[in-house]
Chains A and B, each alone.
Chain A
Amino acid sequence: MNIEIVWHGRGGQGVVTANEILAETAISEGKYVKAFPEFGPERMGAPIRAFTRISSKPVQVHSQVYHPDIVVVLDPTLIGKVDVLNGLKEDGFLLANYPGTPEELKKSLKTEMKVHTVNATKISMEEIGRPVANTAILGALTKISPLVSYEALQDQISTKFQGKLPEKAIVKNIVALERAHKEVL
């Protein structure tokens, strides 16, 4: 296994945290990782990227990811503004937080590449009460890719937020994770 991911989001949306959670989950399953954001003059709302490598062997490459197997878009307003498909492998796929269907997104992106959508913002608003879609998108990601197991991801989220978020908030995040896992198209 050797999977490379590029994340697109906006500063403050939890891209870095989602990347960390995925990396830590993969390590808990015995895999090797390299996970890091692109550090620029980032601020709330500005487009940012992050990168993940998950491998069954030690990760030697330290550069950014240029030919991802998976692209994850955390903010639907980036579609059409940022070239999110840039470098995506032919057999790879894009997962977007997007209110429409994959067909609608494909039309909007003018692409025949494999695309998945989940309305992670709506799920997060309904379950968590804030438009922080990062846990939801992880739930969707584990449904469409065998990167890490859903159960390990759930455990990692509980562990990571233990003591940092109130117990109720952790439960709400898990519910958002579950819903996105079921509702991803």
Chain B
Amino acid sequence: MTGNLGINGDSAVALAWKQVDPDVCAAYPITPQTIIVERFSDYVADGEVETEFVCTESEHSAMTVCIASASAGARTVTATASAGLAYMWETLGIASGLRVPLTMTVANRALSGPLNIHCDHSDVMAARDLGWIIMFAENVQEAYDNAIMAMRIAEHPDVQLPVMTNLDGFILTHAIERMTPLDSHTVKDFVGEYKPLYPLLDVKNPVTHGVMDLQDSYFEHRYQVNQAMKASANVIEQVFKEFGKISGRHYDMIETYMCDDADYVTLTIGSTAGTMKAAVDELRAEGHKVGAVKLKVMRPFPAQKLRDVMAGKKCVAVMDRHLIVGVSGPVFLEVAADLMDLPDCPKLVNYVYGLGGRDVMVEDLKQVYMNMMNDKQDKVNYLGVKL
């Protein structure tokens, strides 16, 4: 397959899976992830992939099947959103703790209530501490690319961790954008034949997964998860580099835009990082020294990269599409902890925005920079809330 497609984010992820042809997919449909599962089950029904598709009765079961099949040695994928991710919650730590390299796409949606089906990051942020590698997409192209790269990252011997690739619900899942797929042969070559390290089904080398792990060894295993997460940074960079060679699309754990001489910088996740660049363009045209950083990979947290970019700036606004009730946005806390011992630490402020799909316009984002320049803001601000 070559040329450009007009395709929505969910269909693009399903296409990536089709080209990979994973061994197992266990999933339960939930808005706005539904199209992924629908399209992929079409591919299964039409015989275009050999994947064993397991229709589970819930997300909890879906993740349990995924952990089991990945432990058995199968390349395994799934997808969910919002309440579905919450329903998986207790099994997410099992996936990382058992070191199963499965991949999951999350179509980010508010974790109700009141009932809301639209985009924010309350689903993924509530799952951020469970040992998964976490990546985000700015656009449909990235959602497709991430789904492919995630497998290489998860399955690397130095990593052996589950990877979650996120895309903004509706804003990306249901919007048609121009996307350039790789041809299926290239995708298959890139992910390669899956060789699991310790599969349950290798009866000549028997292993056990998921046994009791008490006071004498549990701490060491969680420590090892932490070490693997740290080691994954190098692997991610290597995979990004290799992917750049075959696709011409070059990624980094963070992306900087007009930051070199900027005094005022924002840090953003997901589709808003695109809109933010448009805000920077308009302000630059008016002569303002502003820049934008996109956080593409949140786990592992690219602490040193952020320090290198943020050091010496006058002010940094961290944009959070989730609110830790009673505190602030979560990314703000992580950035603040990261930068606090810099000798020239910038002033740090937080903007919580876009909850439940509240639209965010270029004008809103320009206002964030204007507030920074005029220093007319609180430590934690609520952008676009009607008061």
Residues of chain A at the chain B interface (Cβ within 8 Å): 19-20, 23-24, 26-28, 30-37, 39, 58-64, 66
Q: With A34-B175, A39-B174 as known contacts, state yes or no: A63 contacts B277, CB within 8 Å.
A: no
Q: Which of B6, B170, B178, B362 contacts A61 (CB 8 A)?
A: B362
Determine the chain B residues whose CB is within 8 A of the CB of A63 once the complex forms: 275, 359-362
Complex: A128 Cα to B62 Cα, angstroms: 45
Interface class of chain A by DSSP? mixed
Complex: A84 Cα to B170 Cα, angstroms: 24
Complex: A63 Cα to B178 Cα, angstroms: 16
Complex: A63 Cα to B175 Cα, angstroms: 11
Tell whether B255 is near chain A: CB-to-CB under 8 Å: no
B277 engages A60 (CB within 8 Å): yes
Q: Which residue in chain A gives the minimum CB-CB distance to B4?
A: A27
A27 engages B359 (CB within 8 Å): no
Determine the chain A residues whose CB is within 8 A of the CB of B176 once the complex forms: 19-20, 23-24, 33-36
Nearest-neighbour CB distance to chain A for B20, whole angstroms, equals 24
A39 engages B175 (CB within 8 Å): no
What are 29 A-B residue pairs whose CB atoms fall within 8 Å in the complex?
A20-B6, A20-B176, A27-B5, A27-B6, A27-B178, A28-B4, A30-B4, A31-B178, A32-B177, A32-B178, A33-B177, A34-B176, A35-B175, A35-B176, A37-B174, A39-B117, A58-B178, A60-B278, A61-B274, A61-B275, A61-B278, A62-B139, A62-B171, A62-B175, A62-B271, A62-B275, A63-B275, A63-B361, A64-B361
Determine the chain A residues whose CB is within 8 A of the CB of B175 once the complex forms: 34-36, 62
Q: What number of B residues sit within 8 Å (CB to CB) of A?
A: 25
Complex: A123 Cα to B109 Cα, angstroms: 41
Residues of chain B at the chain A interface (Cβ within 8 Å): 4-6, 117-118, 139, 168, 170-172, 174-178, 271-272, 274-275, 277-278, 359-362
Q: Which residue in chain A gives the minimum CB-CB distance to B117?
A: A39
A60 engages B275 (CB within 8 Å): yes
Q: Which of B5, B172, B177, B359 contacts A59 (CB 8 A)?
A: B177
B178 engages A33 (CB within 8 Å): yes
Q: Which residue in chain A gives the minimum CB-CB distance to B31?
A: A39
Determine the chain A residues whose CB is within 8 A of the CB of B359 once the complex forms: 63-64
A39 engages B118 (CB within 8 Å): yes
Nearest-neighbour CB distance to chain A for B58, whole angstroms, equals 24
Complex: A21 Cα to B362 Cα, angstroms: 27
Q: With A34-B177, A35-B175, A36-B176 as known contacts, state yes or no: A62 contacts B274, CB within 8 Å.
A: yes
Q: Which residue in chain A gives the minimum CB-CB distance to B32?
A: A39
Complex: A30 Cα to B6 Cα, angstroms: 11
